[in-house]
Amino acid sequence: QQDHGPGGGDHSDGIITRYLGTSVTRVANIVGHMEFDHQTGMLYVADTGAGRITRLDTATGTNTGSLPGEWDGAEYTGVTGADYQVVVEGLSEPAGIALDGGRIFVSESASGDIVAFDMEGTELGRVHTPAERIMGITFGPDGRLWYADPGSDEIVRVDP
């Protein structure tokens, strides 16, 4: 429950919550990122194998109590009945996800595109990148969008 800094390995004071009834489909060697919206409490998830973005309302559901499992001594609990919905479908291996200005930005590993959506899932636009294998995306302190391309060992800033 306290920040251990980058690379911190002590998770003994952590709380791990498993939202039962939700799932994602993993694709080997492709990330499937999550992004938490602190204003709304919504967790957005890139479900790479299913080609979709889902949204989980972390303020909903019923805590089921402790679950079995050992994770560095952390507390491990479950939640059932949380509001979980598909926001976007039909993506080509969504990998990275970032939120900015009431929009959802998603990197598509299969196409190399970065796609912008409104919060309800309507596509607003898309930019094709020269990335060999686009993965994570984020907005820097300057408000610019950056992406990771492990295929070419680069971190790239998207310029308008």
Specify the range with the lowest mean pLDDT, choosing from 7-16, 123-132, 148-157: 7-16
3 CB-near residues (< 8 Å, 6+ apart): none
- Domain count along the chain: 1
Report if residue 10 sits inside a domain: no
pLDDT tens-digit series, residues 27-82: 999 999 999 999 999 999 999 999 999 999 999 999 998 887 666 667 788 999 99
Angle made by CA atoms 16, 141, 36, in degrees to the nearest 5: 25
pTM above 0.85, yes or no: yes
CATH number reported for the structural domain that contains residue 103 in this entry? 2.120.10.30
153 CB-near residues (< 8 Å, 6+ apart): none
